[in-house]
Amino acid sequence: MTTSDEADLLARVPDGVFIGGRWRAAENGRTLQVTDPATGEVIKEVADASAADGAAAMDAACAAFPSWSRTPARERAELLRRAFDLVQERAEDLALLMTLEMGKPLAESRGEVTYGGEFLRWFSEEAVRVQGRYGVNPEGSGRMIVTKHPVGPCYLITPWNFPLAMATRKIAPALAAGCTVVVKPAALTPLTTSFFTQILVDAGLPDGVVNVITTSESGPVSEPIIADRRLRKLSFTGSTAVGQQLLKQAAPGVLRTSMELGGNAPFVVFEDADLDKAVDGAMLAKFRNIGQACTAANRFIVHRDVAEEFTRRVTERVQSFTTGRGTEDGVTIGPLIDDRAVDKADALVSDAVERGAEVRTGARTVDGPGSFYEATVLSDVQPGSDILREEIFGPVLAIVSFADEDEAVRIANDTEFGLVSYVFTRDLARGQRMIDRLETGMMGLNVGVVSNAAAPFGGWKLSGIGREGGFEGIGEYLETKYTLTPDPFG
Ligand code: NAD
């Protein structure tokens, strides 16, 4: 049951699509239902956009581009900075909304408000630092001028697991660069994006610069937008399978693409690691967001001399967790996003156990209502188990052991993915060797969380293309032009 505070907040969330500066119903009048995964109850209905709404959103983004791209960078920066301040003011609303539609415990939602808000502040600072260069060509016969330009209208597709941060991580650099956007949040969690869009409006967003379409028909609504030759950029965060389809759709238009895709992060604990730090790091890397993060540690690769001690300590910690609705005090593990996610975690655990893994704790679904899976520790997971190959996306900590550094590296790199790795060792030279040897776009060296608005976030291999955040993030929304002029003395 939603409380009266929750009902009051939900009533304040816009329920339309947002096109050309106006909230309105979907053209065909349809709505989609949003569910609280902790109770299974429908908490709100919002517009269920069709391809016609998508086309209208594209028209609005294209119409707004000429003036937004010429708006002084300082003005664009100040809009983002005001939005950052409003996110701080409305932090509790944003946090509760994320817990209601996605399920993570409130403390974690508050953490996401901080993280997600930082992209607004960071890119408000970066907006005024876009620079080109000027130089003499090597022959001395001309002057080379390099300038940067916003790429044009962009289509931004976000997943359900970090409803605020995945939106701000794309919208903030796009706006900072002078681009206009159409945003499509996941159908499971559209409310946070709509609430945040109203924050942008309150901060002074000009009409058409950001357009939002909530829809249950991702494919049919997205395809014509991607095929529209006025679109210049596609930025997607989600599963590798969908990313691969979108790359095919983006090919005819030779679109600039950013792809933040799936992961299969190794978490390597060497025999010389500080085990207290490794266990703390493991809790964050594995159980943050109930294991539903692309950066979640998927495979714990632990030296055989410390494997039993590490397993004992993580099991003890996991047994102290409290599972429940994320709004309740003391809850550390919320629900998974839906019953399909529970079934997937359960199937991966069953396969691992059939192949010889030992259950140290958990490995049980929890009776409804809500989509819960008990936090689980598996040891002695055998090679060939599905859980070592697939993204778990749930609260299951799977441990394998190794004998020496070469074996650890071989196991860690034995995946098509390459988003992030975690390494725990006290040996500086070994840590540096791992930076060179592990095939991932990011690494936590003696830490369990790497995300930061100031850092280039992104993956190698099937984990993606491009970077979000950091100095690199705004570059994804800029084109480069080189101009040659004759030697002015010639
Ligand atoms: P998903 O691929 O199912 O959906 C992501 C988004 O794409 C949603 O908005 C969805 O509606 C949309 N979508 C689905 N099919 C589409 C289609 N045919 N055309 C256009 N849009 C379509 O992923 P998900 O389950 O929402 O998110 C979980 C996945 O996202 C995991 O694999 C996770 O690793 C990944 N992820 C990656 C990062 C990263 O930065 N690398 C961050 C968060 C999540």
Nearest CA to ligand 1 atom 35: 238
Asked whether the predicted pLDDT for residue 23 surpasses 90, the reply is yes
> 218 CB under 6 A from ligand 1?
yes
Distance between Cα 126 and ligand 1 center (Å): 27
Among candidate residues 62, 154, 179, 294, the one labeled active-site is 294
Of 217-226, 362-371, 473-482, the least confident: 362-371
Per-residue pLDDT for 1 more than 80?
Answer: no
Q: How far is the CA of 453 from the centre of ligand 1 (A)?
A: 20
Stretch 259-288: mean pLDDT: 98
Q: How far is the CA of 49 from the centre of ligand 1 (A)?
A: 18
Q: What is the pLDDT of residues 232-263, one digit of tens each?
A: 999 999 999 999 999 999 999 999 999 999 99
Residue type, 345: A
Q: pLDDT (tens digit, 9 = 90+) per residue, 436-479?
A: 999 999 999 999 999 999 999 999 999 999 999 999 999 999 99
Q: Which domains are delineated in the chain?
A: 4-261+464-480 (3.40.605.10), 265-452 (3.40.309.10)
Q: Is the minimum distance from the CB of 368 to ligand 1 under 6 angstroms?
A: no
Question: Is 62 annotated in the active site?
Answer: no
Task: Please pick, among 101, 108, 260, 476, the residue that the annotation labels catalytic.
Answer: 260
Q: What's the pTM?
A: 0.98
Query: Which is the closest atom of ligand 1 to the Cα of 222?
Result: 20
464 CB near ligand 1 (under 6 Å): yes
Measured distance CA(237)–CA(119) in Å, rounded? 16
- Closest ligand 1 atom number to CA of residue 184: 9
- The neighbouring-strand residues paired with 74 are none
Instruction: Please give the number of the atom of ligand 1 that sits closest to the Cα of 158.
Output: 9
- Gap between the Cα atoms of 24 and 14, Å rounded: 9
Q: Is the CB of 190 under 6 A from ligand 1?
A: no
3-class SS of residue 111: helix
* Pocket perturbation via mutation, ligand 1, pick of 32, 161, 390 by most ligand atoms within 8 A of CB: 161
- DSSP letter assigned to residue 333: B
pLDDT-based confidence at residue 58 (cuts at 50, 70, 90)? very high
* pLDDT value, residue 490: 86
Instruction: Classify 451 as helix, strand or coil.
Output: coil
Residue 404: partners with Cβ closer than 8 Å, 6 or more residues away = none
Whether 391 lines ligand 1, by a CB cut-off of 6 Å, is: yes
Choose among 456, 420, 77: nearest CA to 258.
456
What is the per-residue pLDDT for 57? 99
Summarize the chain as % helix, strand, coil (round to 5): 40, 20, 35
State the pLDDT at residue 368: 81
- 186 Cβ inside 6 Å of ligand 1: yes
Average pLDDT over residues 220-225: 98
Mean pLDDT for the chain overall: 98
What backbone phi and psi angles, to 5 degrees, belong to 41?
-85, 145
Question: What are the tokens at 160?
Answer: 């359900």
Instruction: Name residue 416's amino acid.
Output: E
Q: What is the pLDDT of residue 2?
A: 80
The reply to whether 260 belongs to the active site is yes
Cα-to-centroid distance, 87 and ligand 1 (Å): 24
The per-residue pLDDT for 267 is 98
The model's pLDDT over 319-342, given as tens digits with 9 standing for 90+, comes to 999 999 999 999 999 999 999 999
Indicate if ligand 1 lies below 6 Å from the C-beta of 216. no
State the distance from the centre of ligand 1 to the C-alpha of 213, rounded, in angstroms: 16
Cα separation of 285 and 291, whole Å? 8
pLDDT of residue 379: 98
